[in-house]
């Protein structure tokens, strides 16, 4: 399907400045669920099953955290990243398949830019500046200066992983760090991504959290899964369960959490799961007075 600039359907923008809008991407995932998800998640599935077979499910979480926080790698950093887990040779393959040489067309003056707002790589504009395609950055009124990296021999995260892993991963990692700052020990992606995180405080209180960063609450409502139950004593056991939405989504639509609750069959069958913003969860959680940590395994 080809649309002219800023095409609309049902009052929603499908393209903004020639790029698919968030609504367009979410609608495409919803409408072409199987094809889109199978295509984009081939590498994710490969890492998940490879980590499980190697008896190192923590490496799945390590991989997600790494690609979410490292959009551009210099030649030496790329080599060092590949050699990080020498006892699990698949790790080097996963890094190889996650990154690609920085395309010359995306460099300017021998450099590649990393966005100061979303930490993803940017593309040069004809006017000599840099443009970030991340939806939040397209909407942002003020953009901080990008960080410029030497493009010679550098690698960048593949575009499909920016969209399907790194951008969704940002609010997950930000929440993990905020809960760790309040003293929790936070395990990322426990049970091979059965949840986004489990945070446990020294007094034993523990929460299980899935973070969902969707533009449209009624599309999100159809994608909510069952939360896992881990028995008392299991390293990932938790008491309270939360489905967390980034606060800026709710600021733009005050009914967001209500719509998710009302429209989700999964939430009706799991009434113990509370829907709230990341800021609301952070302020409700205990503060142990000294920092905890964010880890990838039990």
Nearest residue to 189 (alpha-carbon basis) of 270, 110, 298? 298
Show the tokens assigned to 76: 């030496």
Q: CB nearer to Zn ion: give 50 or 71.
A: 71
Based on CB atoms, which residue is closest to Zn ion, 90 or 134? 134
Shortest Å distance, C-beta 225 to Zn ion: 28
Q: Shortest Cβ distance from residue 143 to Zn ion (Å)?
A: 7
- Closest CB 79 distance from Zn ion, rounded Å: 27
Kindly tell me which of 115 and 173 has the beta carbon lying closer to Zn ion. 115
Q: Alpha-carbon torsion 120, 123, 129, 132, what sign? A: negative
Contact partners, residue 196, CB within 8 Å, separation at least 6:
172, 175, 188, 189, 209, 210, 211
Shortest CB 83 distance to Zn ion, Å: 29
Give the nearer residue to Zn ion in terms of CB position, either 15 or 117. Answer: 117
Choice between 132 and 184, CB closer to Zn ion:
132
Do 183 and 292 meet the contact criterion of CB atoms below 8 Å apart?
A: yes
Kindly state the smallest distance separating residue 216's Cβ from Zn ion, in Å.
Answer: 21
Q: Which residue has the tokens 């007075």?
A: 289
Give the Cα separation of 34 and 66 in Å (integer). 27
Q: What is the DSSP letter of 7?
A: -
Site for Zn ion, rule CB under 5 A = 115, 117-118, 132, 134, 137
CB of 131 to Zn ion, least distance (A): 9
Are 132 and 117 in contact by the 8 Å Cβ rule? The answer is: yes
Picking from 246, 297, 241, the residue whose alpha carbon sits closest to that of residue 272 is: 241
Looking at beta carbons only, is 21 or 90 nearer to Zn ion? 21
Q: Is 237 helix (H, G, I), strand (E, B) or coil?
A: coil
Sequence-ordered list of residues with C-beta below 8 angstroms from that of 294, at least 6 positions apart, any chain? 173, 176, 177, 180, 186, 188
């Amino acid at each position: 399907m080809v649309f002219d600039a800023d095409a609309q359907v049902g009052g929603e923008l499908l393209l903004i400045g020639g790029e698919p809008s968030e609504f367009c991407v979410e609608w495409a995932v919803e409408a072409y669920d199987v094809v889109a998800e199978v295509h984009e998640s081939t590498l994710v599935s490969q890492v998940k099953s490879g980590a499980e077979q190697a008896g190192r499910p923590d490496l799945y979480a390590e991989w997600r955290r790494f690609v979410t926080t490292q959009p551009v790698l210099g030649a030496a950093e790329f080599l060092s990243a590949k050699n990080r887990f020498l006892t699990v040779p698949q790790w080097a393959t996963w890094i190889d398949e996650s990154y690609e040489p920085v395309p010359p067309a995306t460099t300017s003056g021998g450099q590649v830019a990393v966005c100061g707002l979303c930490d993803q790589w940017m593309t040069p504009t004809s006017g000599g500046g840099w443009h970030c395609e991340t939806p939040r950055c397209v909407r942002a009124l003020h953009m901080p200066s990008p960080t410029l990296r030497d493009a010679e021999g550098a690698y960048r995260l593949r575009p499909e992983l920016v969209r399907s892993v790194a951008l969704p991963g940002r609010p997950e990692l930000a929440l993990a760090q905020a809960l760790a700052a309040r003293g929790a020990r936070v395990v990322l992606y426990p049970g091979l991504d059965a949840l986004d995180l489990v945070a446990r405080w020294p007094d034993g209180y523990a929460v299980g959290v899935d973070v969902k960063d969707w533009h449209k609450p009624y599309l999100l409502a159809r994608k909510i899964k069952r939360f896992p139950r881990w028995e008392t004593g299991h390293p990932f056991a938790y008491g309270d369960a939360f489905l967390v939405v980034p606060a800026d989504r709710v600021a733009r639509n005050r009914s967001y959490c209500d719509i998710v609750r009302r429209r989700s069959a999964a939430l009706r069958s799991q009434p113990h799961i509370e829907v709230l913003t990341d800021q609301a969860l952070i302020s409700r959680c205990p503060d142990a007075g000294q920092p905890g940590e964010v880890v990838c395994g039990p």
